[in-house]
Amino acid sequence: MASKRARKSKASLKKSKPAQKKEVAAQTGHSAKALHHVIQELIEAKQRGDDAAQHSATAALNGFARGKAPAHLQQAAAQAQIVASNPVMVDSMRLLGDIAARLGAAP
Protein backbone atom coordinates (compact mmCIF):
# COMPACT_ATOMS: atom_id res chain seq x y z
CA MET A 1 0.00 0.00 0.00
CA ALA A 2 2.80 2.41 0.82
CA SER A 3 4.47 1.82 -2.54
CA LYS A 4 1.31 2.86 -4.39
CA ARG A 5 1.20 6.02 -2.38
CA ALA A 6 4.84 6.73 -3.16
CA ARG A 7 4.25 6.18 -6.88
CA LYS A 8 1.27 8.50 -6.85
CA SER A 9 3.19 11.24 -5.11
CA LYS A 10 6.08 10.96 -7.58
CA ALA A 11 3.63 11.10 -10.48
CA SER A 12 1.92 14.14 -9.04
CA LEU A 13 5.28 15.90 -8.64
CA LYS A 14 6.11 15.28 -12.28
CA LYS A 15 2.76 16.68 -13.36
CA SER A 16 3.18 19.88 -11.39
CA LYS A 17 6.40 20.99 -13.09
CA PRO A 18 4.84 22.18 -16.40
CA ALA A 19 2.25 24.18 -14.48
CA GLN A 20 5.03 25.98 -12.63
CA LYS A 21 6.65 26.98 -15.93
CA LYS A 22 3.36 28.48 -17.09
CA GLU A 23 3.09 30.49 -13.87
CA VAL A 24 6.60 31.88 -14.36
CA ALA A 25 5.73 32.87 -17.92
CA ALA A 26 2.59 34.61 -16.71
CA GLN A 27 4.54 36.46 -14.02
CA THR A 28 7.08 37.61 -16.61
CA GLY A 29 4.37 39.30 -18.65
CA HIS A 30 2.97 40.91 -15.53
CA SER A 31 6.41 42.11 -14.53
CA ALA A 32 6.93 43.76 -17.90
CA LYS A 33 3.58 45.52 -17.57
CA ALA A 34 4.40 46.57 -14.02
CA LEU A 35 7.81 47.93 -15.06
CA HIS A 36 6.20 49.78 -17.94
CA HIS A 37 3.70 51.28 -15.49
CA VAL A 38 6.48 52.37 -13.10
CA ILE A 39 8.35 54.08 -15.94
CA GLN A 40 5.15 55.86 -17.02
CA GLU A 41 4.62 57.03 -13.44
CA LEU A 42 8.19 58.34 -13.35
CA ILE A 43 7.66 60.28 -16.59
CA GLU A 44 4.44 61.81 -15.25
CA ALA A 45 6.14 62.70 -11.95
CA LYS A 46 8.95 64.44 -13.85
CA GLN A 47 6.39 66.39 -15.87
CA ARG A 48 4.59 67.50 -12.70
CA GLY A 49 7.83 68.21 -10.85
CA ASP A 50 6.76 65.92 -7.99
CA ASP A 51 9.98 64.95 -6.22
CA ALA A 52 8.32 62.48 -3.82
CA ALA A 53 6.70 60.55 -6.68
CA GLN A 54 9.99 60.57 -8.59
CA HIS A 55 11.77 59.14 -5.57
CA SER A 56 9.20 56.37 -5.06
CA ALA A 57 9.27 55.45 -8.76
CA THR A 58 13.07 55.37 -8.71
CA ALA A 59 12.93 53.10 -5.65
CA ALA A 60 10.54 50.81 -7.52
CA LEU A 61 12.97 50.74 -10.46
CA ASN A 62 15.71 49.77 -8.03
CA GLY A 63 13.53 46.89 -6.86
CA PHE A 64 13.11 45.67 -10.42
CA ALA A 65 16.82 46.00 -11.16
CA ARG A 66 17.84 43.99 -8.10
CA GLY A 67 14.84 41.67 -7.86
CA LYS A 68 14.07 38.28 -9.29
CA ALA A 69 12.73 39.61 -12.58
CA PRO A 70 14.01 38.20 -15.88
CA ALA A 71 17.33 39.56 -17.11
CA HIS A 72 15.87 41.78 -19.83
CA LEU A 73 13.58 43.48 -17.30
CA GLN A 74 16.43 43.96 -14.85
CA GLN A 75 18.48 45.54 -17.60
CA ALA A 76 15.64 47.83 -18.66
CA ALA A 77 15.08 48.89 -15.04
CA ALA A 78 18.79 49.65 -14.60
CA GLN A 79 18.79 51.70 -17.80
CA ALA A 80 15.71 53.59 -16.64
CA GLN A 81 17.43 54.37 -13.33
CA ILE A 82 20.43 55.82 -15.11
CA VAL A 83 18.29 57.82 -17.52
CA ALA A 84 16.13 59.14 -14.67
CA SER A 85 19.18 60.74 -13.08
CA ASN A 86 19.90 62.74 -16.26
CA PRO A 87 19.86 66.45 -15.32
CA VAL A 88 18.30 67.48 -18.66
CA MET A 89 14.62 66.77 -18.07
CA VAL A 90 13.57 66.74 -21.74
CA ASP A 91 16.22 64.17 -22.64
CA SER A 92 15.42 62.12 -19.56
CA MET A 93 11.71 61.95 -20.37
CA ARG A 94 12.39 61.13 -24.03
CA LEU A 95 14.76 58.30 -23.16
CA LEU A 96 12.39 56.95 -20.50
CA GLY A 97 9.65 56.95 -23.14
CA ASP A 98 11.92 54.97 -25.45
CA ILE A 99 12.57 52.37 -22.74
CA ALA A 100 8.85 52.14 -21.98
CA ALA A 101 8.07 51.72 -25.69
CA ARG A 102 10.63 48.91 -25.91
CA LEU A 103 8.92 47.15 -23.02
CA GLY A 104 5.51 47.59 -24.61
CA ALA A 105 6.74 46.02 -27.87
CA ALA A 106 8.47 43.10 -26.11
CA PRO A 107 6.51 39.84 -25.90
Domain residues of the chain, as ranges?
A: 26-105
Cα distances from 15 to residues 1, 3, 12, 23, 26, in angstroms, run: 22, 18, 5, 14, 18
Rg value, the chain, Cα: 20
pLDDT at 89 over 50: yes
Q: What is the pLDDT of residue 74?
A: 92
Q: What is the pLDDT of residue 22?
A: 46
What does the pLDDT average to over 95-102? 93
Give the confidence band of 55 by pLDDT, cuts at 50, 70, 90.
Answer: very high
The one-letter amino acid at 80: A
Q: What is the pLDDT of residue 8?
A: 59
Q: 23-40, pLDDT tens digit by residue?
A: 444 444 568 899 999 999
Give the confidence band of 54 by pLDDT, cuts at 50, 70, 90.
Answer: very high
